[in-house]
Amino acid sequence: MIDCPNEAMRDLLPDLANESLESSVRVLVTGHIATCAACAAEIEIIRSARLLLVSSTPRVNVASIVKALPSYRGSIPIQSARSARNRTWGSSWRIAAAATFLAAGLGSFAVLRPGAPVVVKDTTVVAVNHGLALTGTLADLSDAELVALVKDIDGIEALPSTEVEAGSVVNASNILPDSIGRDLEIP
């Protein structure tokens, strides 16, 4: 079997078999094949080999592979985080406490620290420092952002004008709307 001397045309034969040629090029190649016995024979080998390869492809278990894939652990843009609906609040009671107080729209909130006196701090400064949009909802924040928010809150040293008397116990259900107070679990 002799080879066609037109190497450029021969190079395009696999692309013709894979149906990946631009229409104008396809017309040129098929026109050439019609007049070239060598290329006609070669494209038949290519098509047959392709059929053989495709039909003999071993089947793999896609579901099993997908199950084995890792979860993405990189940074996720806020826009993407908003669309994720699998938020869990319960990992940190401090996050839950801070977030709940903020959601209640209070100008101040209580950071509950076991064994420590209750200190009421101003949320406005914290929110501004974070550059958080106060028009959004807490559901828009990722867990990482909430953790950072709580840390900043803890780091505020200036005391507000109001201060709860040391040693007193703050009952969340007394100062929160009933629906939130009931759901809040504070050990």
Partner 1 sequence: MTEPSQRVNGQEGEASDAELIQRWKAGDQRAATTIVERHSPALARFAVSQGARDDIDELVQDTFVRAFNSLDGFRGDSSFRTWLLTIERRLLLDRRRAEKRRPDRVESQEGDASTQFDALDGMMAREARQRLSEAVTRLSPTQRQVFTLRVGEGMSYKEIADAAGTTEGAARVHYHNAMKAMKEFIDD
Please name which of 108, 132, 127 lies closest in space to residue 118, comparing C-alpha atoms: 108
Q: Which is nearer to partner 1, 69 or 116 (CB)?
A: 69
Residues 72 to 101 in contact with partner 1, rule: CB under 8 A: 72, 74, 76, 80, 83-84, 86
Q: Which is nearer to partner 1, 19 or 165 (CB)?
A: 19
Q: What is the x/- site pattern for partner 1, positions 30-69, by CB under 8 A?
A: -----------xx--xx-xxxxxxxxxxxxxxxxxxx-xx
CA distance linking residue 186 with residue 181, whole number of Å: 10
Q: Would you count residue 169 as binding partner 1 (CB under 8 A)? A: no
Q: Would you count residue 105 as binding partner 1 (CB under 8 A)? A: no
Q: Would you count residue 1 as binding partner 1 (CB under 8 A)? A: yes
Two tokens, residue 29:
């190649």
Q: Would you count residue 116 as binding partner 1 (CB under 8 A)? A: no
Residues 6+ apart with CB under 8 A from 4: 10, 36, 38, 39, 42
Helix (H, G, I), strand (E, B) or coil at 48: helix
